[in-house]
Amino acid sequence: MRMMMAVLYTALLVGANPVAADVPAAMALREGDMKKLAAIEPPAALPEAVLIDMQDAPRSLDEYRGKWVVLNFWATWCAPCREEMPALDRLQAAMPGIVVLPVATGRNAPEAIDRFFTEAGVQNLTVLRDPKADLSRAMGVLALPVTVILNPEGQEVARLIGDAEWDSANAQAVLKAMAE
């Protein structure tokens, strides 16, 4: 009887909690680069951190609550980031219902970011900066690039270390499954 109640409770919990139900289903779809995407169970709250935009105005990740966010930690000097950023740009164009948010970590002058985006042909992304690497350090980002998937509650639900083809059909299928 206890076992039956535990199974029933678990089924009700999963059915009542869309975040708990969507991430495992999405993880089952992973292929290619997306196999590097690791689920975070249970979802993790983000540390408090103040980021800045390209005009040095303070910004917060709280501004993106209510949306799925693909949060990418990168730097202008990072070779894999240079390869990955156009795919993130194409992902944003292909999936406007999610937010693809690059966070330039460490010393990245706005002029260098603009030059990087121009050279890479990036047109669809808004950049925030973490000049003292406070957020990236607090989140345990030890190398670049690192991409973190945030649920609408602003919690980390998945993480991919290294670069990936974020505009691939499989990456889009995984993200769509999470967001449904």
As a whole number, mean pLDDT of residues 115-138 equals: 96
> What's the whole-model pTM score?
0.86
* Alpha-carbon span 15 to 9, nearest angstrom: 10
Three-state SS letters, 85-110: HHHHHHHHHHCCCCEEEEEEECCCCH
Coil, strand, or helix at residue 32? helix
User: Which range of residues forms the domain containing residue 83?
Assistant: 2-179
Contact of 91 with 167, CB cutoff 8 Å: yes
- Overall number of domains in the chain: 1
The mean pLDDT value of the chain amounts to: 89
Q: Which residues contact 23 (CB under 8 A, 6 or more apart)?
A: 39, 41, 43, 151, 157, 158, 178
* Alpha-carbon span 50 to 57, nearest angstrom: 10
The pLDDT of residue 2 is 39
* Alpha-carbon span 125 to 117, nearest angstrom: 9
Alpha-helical segments (H) within the chain: 2-16, 18-27, 79-94, 110-120, 134-138, 169-179
- What is the band of 68 on the pLDDT scale with cuts at 50, 70, 90? very high
User: Domain holding 138: CATH number?
Assistant: 3.40.30.10
* Alpha-carbon span 35 to 39, nearest angstrom: 11
As a whole number, mean pLDDT of residues 40-45 equals: 95
pLDDT for 135-146, tens place per residue?
999 999 999 999
Which helix H or strand E contains 157, and what residues bound it?
strand 155-161
